[in-house]
A and B are shown apart, each in its own frame.
Chain A
Amino acid sequence: MTALPAKTAKKLGLAIDLDTCVGCHACVINCKEWNTSNYGVPLSDVNAYGAAPVGTFLNRVHTFEAKSEGCNAQTVHFPKSCLHCEDAPCVTVCPTGASYKRSEDGIVLVNEDKCMGCGLCAWACPYGARELDQLAGVMKKCTLCIDRIYNENIPEIDRVPACVRTCPAGARHFGDFADPDSNVSKLSAERGGIALMEAQGTRPVNRYLPPRPKTDITGEGKIAVSAPALAPGIPEPGGFLGWLDKALEKL
């Protein structure tokens, strides 16, 4: 049934650290690798070696630039996958009952044996977290690696989502947001974790930890600790060139 559970015992999700993420896309690749060979149909590629390859991914890394007046531009790598919303609009719009949110842990899943591939859930998601597989015609989305996190056949250290396990920067954290003492709850509280597009009323579980403030090295008397030897880029010209510069300036 595509009614949302009133309350879920756990709220499993990810805390994604935008300060630490280096934009290597390893999470994208490991997600594709794990999920193409486990839960549900494979994540297909169309025209994989052609001019315009298209494929299904459950996790994508966008790279943004933020720049405010008088400051250096800042690059922010921004991994994006299902946020396992508490008020998941993708679940309630589903006509077949394929989309559902688990009452035990809050994971939003698609039952591919019921999905008719109408795509309405992808339309209802503000975050672009769902992609219709072009070969199988069914909706694919992040499962929080449900086939890893409870899997007793793999070593305990591997019982986290593939993206979390593979991240070389330690930018992705998996845990239970319903438990205030969990790693992710504490991280989120400490770093002021944010929910994306709250105005949509989806109440996402995943949190994004905003980039930490950068050390300001541009002001008077401030020295870049990491690069103290660097002199200013172009010295003021003196002598004939200095005179020429001033003369041309006046023209």
Chain B
Amino acid sequence: MHPAPSVIIFTALSGLGFGMMFFLGFGLPMVTGWGAFWYYLTAYALAVGGLLASTLHLGNPKNAIHAFSQWRTSWLSREGVAAVITLLVTAIHAIGLIFLAERFQIVGWISGALALATVFTTSKIYNQLKTVPRWNMPLTPILFLTYALAGGALLTGQITTAAVLLLVLTGLQVAVWQMGDKAFGAAGHNIATATGLGNLGKVRLLEGPHSSPNYLLTEMVYVVGRKHAMKLRAIASVTLGLVPAAILLVLPFNPALAAFAVLSHFIGLFAARWLFFAEAEHVVGLYYDKR
């Protein structure tokens, strides 16, 4: 799949923002006034920034308002609805903390749960697609939720929780990569099942349907750049969790080091999310004898 910057930024940043909102909703950390203001500003900037980035992916954004209508069937619609409800409920909790120095505890809990539910809906947009076996694994939603929780814990300064979650995330991500490598084969699709010509012998594409690339090839048969996949996996596995966890657990707390831990996590997050798209193979590639 084409690793479009808009969807990478959307999933990465909104995951972090809603991850922060989860912890803030449960009073971790318990802050009021300006302290709460800065935390919530960061969380909203990430979540809203990510959601706005996703609109850059649209070919016809003037119709985007209709995207809230199909929540009964569409995970993308549910994501939009869940995001807006989460942002509104979180705002009530945030206003209490920032301006009234008062914590509406129940509202906070609800906002935290909604934040995680929103990340779940984001993951389902990709996870639901049978056409992309690497995404169509039960671990995909768990991976997205763990990203959000680990990143959220890191950005809300939950030092021990963050360190543990970052290590869990690293292990989970490595496992998902390895399972994902086998997913396409395990789904059982090949050029013979795609064309139904398998009984005639070994099938190959003799001549493509068009000589130039088309939307299908640029969007769903992205093969460029996968050659660096292994290097990127190595970089992501180190920077995503190992470096930040080491800084949090081993070194004494210091704002500059904490910033470095966050930076390292961002590098790992973006590298891994790029791979999430770039390495995902769509079954339509079989009609082009490409994956």
Residue A42 CB within 8 A of the other chain: no
Least CB distance, A9 to chain B, in whole angstroms? 21
Residue B138 CB within 8 A of the other chain: no
Q: Which positions 80-122 of chain A face chain B at CB distance < 8 Å?
A: 80, 89, 92-98, 113-120, 122
B283 adjacent to A63 (CB under 8 Å):
no
B129 adjacent to A124 (CB under 8 Å):
yes
What is the number of residues of chain B that contact chain A, defined by CB distance less than 8 Å? 60
A65 adjacent to B131 (CB under 8 Å):
no
B58 adjacent to A64 (CB under 8 Å):
no
Interface of B is mostly: mixed
Chain A-chain B contacts (Cβ-Cβ < 8 Å), number: 204
Interface of A is mostly: loop
Which residues does chain A contribute within 8 Å of B77, judged by CB atoms?
95-96
Question: Which listed residue (A115, A123, A124, A131) contacts B63, Cβ 8 A?
Answer: A115
A131 adjacent to B58 (CB under 8 Å):
no
Q: A56 CA to B59 CA in the complex, in Å? A: 14
Question: Which listed residue (B63, B128, B189) contacts A199, Cβ 8 A?
Answer: B189
Cβ contacts B202-238/A at 8 Å (1 or 0 each): 1111111110111110011000000000000000000
B59 adjacent to A123 (CB under 8 Å):
no
Question: Which listed residue (B60, B204, B206, B219) contacts A137, Cβ 8 A?
Answer: B60
**CB nearest neighbor in A for B210:** A60
What is the number of residues of chain A that contact chain B, defined by CB distance less than 8 Å? 70
Question: Which listed residue (B193, B203, B215) contacts A131, Cβ 8 A?
Answer: B215
**CB nearest neighbor in A for B198:** A66
Known: A95-B67, A137-B59. A126 touches B209 (CB 8 A): no
Which residues does chain B contribute within 8 Å of A200, judged by CB atoms?
130-131, 189, 283
Residue B88 CB within 8 A of the other chain: no
Least CB distance, B184 to chain A, in whole angstroms? 12
Residue A127 CB within 8 A of the other chain: yes
Residue A244 CB within 8 A of the other chain: no
Which residues does chain B contribute within 8 Å of A223, judged by CB atoms?
none
Q: A120 CA to B75 CA in the complex, in Å? A: 10
Question: Which listed residue (A3, A128, A138, A194) contacts B59, Cβ 8 A?
Answer: A138
Q: What are 9 A-B contacts defined by CB distance under 8 Å?
A: A52-B212, A57-B214, A62-B205, A63-B207, A63-B208, A97-B69, A118-B58, A128-B216, A199-B189
Binding site for B on A (CB under 8 A): 1-3, 18, 28, 52-57, 60-69, 71, 73-76, 78, 80, 89, 92-98, 113-120, 122-128, 131-134, 136-139, 194-201, 208, 210-211
